[in-house]
Amino acid sequence: MEKTKTTKIEYETVTLKVPKAIMKLLRDSEKSLEETATEYLEHSLVDMVRADIETQDCFVPTPRGIVELYNLDPVFKEITGITVFKA
C-alpha cells in the first residue's frame, strides 16, 4: 500500500519484546511483505487498535469519542488506509 504523507503524526519510541524467531521470519520475509519488519509491526499494531475500537469490544469512552479525543483517524488513514468514522 502506498502511503501519502499528508498528516504530521507524532511517534513515540517503545521497547517491545518479540520472540527472535518471529523477528527472523519478518526480516527474512521483508521482500515478499513489501515492508520492513518494523513497518509490519507498526501496521499490525495500529490496525489492531483500530479494529478493536470499530468493533466496540474495548475501551471507554465511546469508540467515536476515543477517535476524536486522540485524533486517531489521520493515523489510521495514513498507516492502514482506513478511517473509523468518516466525516
pLDDT in tens, 28-57: 999 999 999 999 999 999 999 888 888 876
Phi, psi (5° rounding) for residue 83? -110, 150
Q: Name the grid cell of 21.
A: 524467531
Q: Which residue has the higher pLDDT, 4 or 12?
A: 12
The Cα–Cα gap between 65 and 52 comes to: 14
Predicted confidence band of residue 85 (pLDDT cuts 50, 70, 90): confident
pLDDT value, residue 47? 94
pLDDT digits (tens, 9 = 90+) for 54-75: 887 677 777 788 888 899 999 9
State the Rg of the chain over Cα: 14
